[in-house]
Amino acid sequence: MGRCFKLYSIEFNQSLLYKAIALLDCVAASELLQDAVARHFIPYVEKCGLPYDDLLVDYCLDYMDGAGMSCEADRNECITIIA
C-alpha cells in the first residue's frame, strides 16, 4: 500500500505561486518576457485561479529589491513585465 500524504490548502496554494513565479524566472532574456507572460504565465495562473496582476506586481517588486536595479538589463526586465 502507498503512503497517504496530507497536503494543506495553504501549502498547495504556495506551491502554485512558486510554480507561477518559476515560469518567469526561467526566461533567459528580458525581450522574451512578454511572450512568456502571455503564452505561459497568464494561462497557468488563470487555470489555477490565481490573481495574475497581483503576482506580476509582487514579482517586479521582489525582483527590483533583489537586483537593486543595478544595471540597465534589470530595469528592462521590470519594464517589460509591466508593459
Give residue-wise pLDDT tens across range 5-52.
555 555 666 788 888 888 888 888 777 888 888 999 899 999 988 888
Q: Is residue 3 included in any domain, yes or no?
A: no
Q: In total, how many domains does the chain have?
A: 1
> Could you give the CA distance from residue 56 to residue 64 in angstroms, rounded to a whole number?
12
**What is each CA distance from 20 to 1, 43, 68, in whole angstroms?**
33, 10, 22
Q: Is residue 23 included in any domain, yes or no?
A: yes
**Model pTM?**
0.65
> Could you give the CA distance from residue 67 to residue 74 in angstroms, rounded to a whole number?
7
pLDDT at 23: 84
Provide the domain limits for residue 70: 11-82
